[in-house]
Chain A
Amino acid sequence: MRRALATILGAVTLTLLIPCLTPAQTDRGRLDVLVKDERGKPVADAVVSLTPPGAIAGPPRPGAVMDQQGKEFVPLVLPVAVGTPVTFPNRDNIRHHVYSFSPAKRFELPLYIGTPAAPVVFDTPGSVVLGCNIHDWMLGYVYVLATPYFVKTAEDGKGRIGELAPGTYEARVWHPRLRAETEKTATPVTIAAGEPGQVSFVVALKPDRRPIRRPNYEGVQGN
């Protein structure tokens, strides 16, 4: 239920974002992506990105949100373009202590309730692993991309990147548990106007080793 909600929210965020990034143009192409694992199962929460051949210049990035809800980070994976400010609203009635020791962004939001005044700006590409000092099992990822063209796969392993200028791109895939380095997944993709391009990745994932969240002592889940 929570996962589904996160997916919906992610999708909503994406649909909100895309029109903002690029004005609607009829000569734009799109890319349908599919990520599966080695056994052919769809992989959710994979981030597929497209790097255009030229330099990337774009407007300032609108902010993104990483919620803490029911003592979980929501969404699990938050892909953002580099320079995106992200707010960490705490929707629980207890405090959280969000931190990251990741080289791409090292920060700490000591015990707080509500939304901290200043959002955290992610200005270096790379994965940022989020943790909560209070709740060992709380795990979230902010994936900072150097390109604005990306999509996070849904439960069915699918995603779509729209509003693409026709041309040749490099597609890459990232996932929190990806065995290979993302750089090595670079695949050339050609986007033509009016005709959806397609790219699919078969990825090998590490086992899910998230700290186990055991039921509350009172047997109450969530907040």
Chain B
Amino acid sequence: MAVHFRSFRSRLVVVFLGLFALIQATGYFAVTAFVRASARHTVDDELRLASTLFARQLDVRTQQLVAATRLLSGDFALKTAVATADHATTASVLENHRQRVDADVLMLAALDGHVVADTQRPAHHGVPFPAPRLLAEAEAGRDASDVVAIGSNLYRLAVVPLLAPEPIAWLAAGFAIDDRAAADLRRLSGLHVSFVARRDGDVVVHASTLGAADRRTLASGLPALGAAGVLELDGGEHLVRIEPVGRDVVVVLQRPLAEALAPYDRMLLILLAVAAAGLLLALLGAALVARRVSRPVLTLARGARRVAAGDFDVAVKVPQRDELGELARTFNEMVGGLRERERVRDELERTAKLKRFFSPQLADALSAGDESLLASHRRQITVVFCDLRGFTAFAEAADPEEVMRLLHEYHATIGPLVFANEGTLERFTGDGLMVFFNDPVPCPDPAARAVRMAVAMRDAVATLLAEWRRRGHALGFGTGIAMGDATIGRIGFEGRFDYAAIGTVTNLSARLCQEARDGQILVSEPVHAEVESLVEAKNVGPLPLRGFARPIVVFDVLGLRPQPTEPP
């Protein structure tokens, strides 16, 4: 099936498919959007839950840290060492206590806010405490803990007073929040975890499960985000949730959207497969429907083309009972009408043609289809020959126009008489005319008809001759009539057939015509015998005729006897 988009069928298929594809695509995109939204929602919920848990966990750990630190602060040896300004011992006790609680750092600050001892940086003696705010908090009697950046590291730090029993110093314990801690949290939650310090517009990613590039993206993208948002990281879109865990520190939880979408991938794949199958079915269906619709149209078009080419034997077959079926029926009816009209026209044409040779009655019979009349046969007929005397000489001398005009007048005068007497016009030969009777339609009185016709012709032509004579043309009219058997039938070749009678009777009548002088109607004896009662005739005696061994008895018909009544 060649696809031409101009064809009705292709267009129908395309429209079908287009609509189907549109519906499918709309459905697909709606589902995709829904799935995306749903996945986002799920991830959002996860992140919210995780951030709450993280915050809670940090709280708990901080409380534990505070409790542990407070416990450490109650140590009398530490108090003694601090109170006696024994720095070496103080540092040693701190290191010992750090190991006890497995903290990452233990620091002691004097009441004036300067570091007395730092387990991680023993040299940091006398520098200002890195989180002075916490000291103020502790001094105000509150639980002082926060996530703070010390150098490039992040610590969860708790500060408690060293009481003796009034505060004599501040004890700070800290746990590092580093990449390892972030990795631990990732193992627990399955989320990307980053700890980010935000201070005076500076964003520093201190600890993270992300790679270096993503850390930079996070640092640059974070200020624009609120509590939640979307970041384009390596591996696609990440949903992000930001939860404060300290005064200047937030924990950023991320999950790639693709991870949440993964379970839906299979569903979308199935959806796509269904859509594809549907499209295929729609294609088949559309093609079938289009075929059903277009086939009758094409059939009709073919039929119309044939009609246009003149073939009216067309009947389109459209079995449908719908509008197309109705159209086909109407079409067939129309073609039927056309065919009928064409048939009538043909018949009329044929009849007109036959009428050249036969009487109108015979022509009608023939055109009605009775071709058997024209089959070869032998029959007794009466043959009439007539022509103009002196015509050959006239034709040589006169203008061709005058010759034709004269012939036309002549034929126009005698032609109707042939038909009027139901004679069969066998041929015109210039001025000559051959007509026979009793064939192809037999008649009861062929000789009588022949003679009556000949008399009528002579009378009619006499008027013409008088007229012609006035115009200076000396012409005459002679007639010969014979009766006998002849072989009759169609002769000629395809494209030109004549209905001819062959036999002695033809020759005889032609000879008699030759013998006849102007105004004479010479008939053979059998003819005379047939019409004796009808005509006045004079025996002109036996005449020696060329082609005939013996002289032939010939009568000259002078005129018709008056008839008391018209023959039926």
The answer to whether A131 touches B74, judged by C-beta atoms less than 8 angstroms apart, is no
- B166 an interface residue at 8 Å Cβ cutoff? yes
- A66 an interface residue at 8 Å Cβ cutoff? no
Asked, given contacts A101-B83, A207-B141, A209-B141, whether A133 binds B76 with beta carbons under 8 Å apart, the answer is yes
Most buried by A among B83, B140, B163, B166: B166
Q: In the complex, what residues of A have CB within 8 A of residue B83's CB?
A: 101, 106
- B79 an interface residue at 8 Å Cβ cutoff? yes
Q: Which 8 A-B pairs have the closest CB atoms?
A: A101-B83, A131-B165, A139-B165, A133-B76, A101-B164, A129-B166, A209-B141, A131-B164
- A136 an interface residue at 8 Å Cβ cutoff? yes
B455 CB to closest chain A CB, in angstroms?
167
Q: Which one of A101, A137, A211 lies within 8 Å of B168 (CB-CB)?
A: A101
The answer to whether B141 touches A138, judged by C-beta atoms less than 8 angstroms apart, is no
The answer to whether B80 touches A101, judged by C-beta atoms less than 8 angstroms apart, is yes
Cα–Cα distance between A101 and B83 once the two chains are bound (Å): 6
In the complex, the number of residue pairs spanning A and B with C-beta atoms less than 8 Å apart equals 33
Instruction: Return the chain B residue nearest A100 by Cβ.
Output: B164
Chain A residues close to B by CB (< 8 Å): 97, 99, 101, 106, 129-133, 136-139, 207, 209-211
Q: In the complex, what residues of A have CB within 8 A of residue B76's CB?
A: 97, 99, 133
Cα–Cα distance between A131 and B73 once the two chains are bound (Å): 14
For residues 209 through 265 of chain B, which have their beta carbon under 8 Å from a beta carbon of chain A? none
Q: Which one of A97, A130, A136, A207 lies within 8 Å of B163 (CB-CB)?
A: A136
Cα–Cα distance between A138 and B166 once the two chains are bound (Å): 10
Cα–Cα distance between A37 and B165 once the two chains are bound (Å): 24
Cα–Cα distance between A209 and B168 once the two chains are bound (Å): 13
Instruction: Return the chain A residue nearest B167 by Cβ.
Output: A209
**What are 6 A-B residue pairs whose CB atoms fall within 8 Å in the complex?**
A101-B164, A129-B165, A129-B166, A131-B164, A132-B165, A207-B140
Bits for B81-111, please: 1 = Cβ < 8 Å to A, else 0: 0011000000000000000000000000000
Instruction: Return the chain B residue nearest A101 by Cβ.
Output: B83
* Contacts A101-B168, A133-B76 supplied; 5 other A-B pairs, CB < 8 Å: A99-B164, A101-B83, A129-B166, A139-B166, A210-B165
Asked, given contacts A101-B79, A101-B80, whether A211 binds B163 with beta carbons under 8 Å apart, the answer is yes
Instruction: Return the chain B residue nearest A210 by Cβ.
Output: B165
Q: In the complex, what residues of B have CB within 8 A of residue A129's CB?
A: 164-166
Q: In the complex, what residues of B have CB within 8 A of residue A133's CB?
A: 76
Q: In the complex, what residues of A have CB within 8 A of residue B80's CB?
A: 101
Q: In the complex, what residues of B have CB within 8 A of residue A131's CB?
A: 163-165
Chain B residues close to A by CB (< 8 Å): 74, 76, 79-80, 83-84, 140-141, 163-168
Q: In the complex, what residues of A have CB within 8 A of residue B164's CB?
A: 99, 101, 129, 131
The answer to whether A136 touches B165, judged by C-beta atoms less than 8 angstroms apart, is yes
Q: In the complex, what residues of B have CB within 8 A of residue A130's CB?
A: 165
Q: In the complex, what residues of B have CB within 8 A of residue A211's CB?
A: 163, 165
Cα–Cα distance between A144 and B84 once the two chains are bound (Å): 21
Q: In the complex, what residues of A have CB within 8 A of residue B168's CB?
A: 101
Instruction: Return the chain B residue nearest A135 by Cβ.
Output: B165
Q: In the complex, what residues of B have CB within 8 A of residue A209's CB?
A: 141, 167
Q: In the complex, what residues of A have CB within 8 A of residue B166's CB?
A: 129, 139
Cα–Cα distance between A211 and B128 once the two chains are bound (Å): 26
Asked, given contacts A101-B79, A211-B163, A211-B165, whether A136 binds B141 with beta carbons under 8 Å apart, the answer is no
Q: In the complex, what residues of B have CB within 8 A of residue A136's CB?
A: 74, 163, 165
A160 CB to closest chain B CB, in angstroms?
29
Q: In the complex, what residues of B have CB within 8 A of residue A132's CB?
A: 165
Q: In the complex, what residues of A have CB within 8 A of residue B79's CB?
A: 101
Q: In the complex, what residues of A have CB within 8 A of residue B165's CB?
A: 129-132, 136-139, 210-211
Q: In the complex, what residues of B have CB within 8 A of residue A99's CB?
A: 76, 164
A118 CB to closest chain B CB, in angstroms?
21
Q: In the complex, what residues of B have CB within 8 A of residue A210's CB?
A: 165
Q: In the complex, what residues of B have CB within 8 A of residue A138's CB?
A: 165
A45 CB to closest chain B CB, in angstroms?
15
Q: In the complex, what residues of A have CB within 8 A of residue B74's CB?
A: 136
Q: In the complex, what residues of B have CB within 8 A of residue A101's CB?
A: 79-80, 83-84, 164, 168
A170 CB to closest chain B CB, in angstroms?
27
Q: In the complex, what residues of B have CB within 8 A of residue A106's CB?
A: 83
Cα–Cα distance between A10 and B220 once the two chains are bound (Å): 68
Cα–Cα distance between A207 and B141 once the two chains are bound (Å): 9
B83 CB to closest chain A CB, in angstroms?
3
Q: In the complex, what residues of A have CB within 8 A of residue B167's CB?
A: 209
Cα–Cα distance between A97 and B83 once the two chains are bound (Å): 16
Instruction: Return the chain A residue nearest B83 by Cβ.
Output: A101
A207 CB to closest chain B CB, in angstroms?
7
Cα–Cα distance between A97 and B165 once the two chains are bound (Å): 12
Cα–Cα distance between A129 and B164 once the two chains are bound (Å): 8
Instruction: Return the chain A residue nearest B165 by Cβ.
Output: A131
Instruction: Return the chain B residue nearest A130 by Cβ.
Output: B165
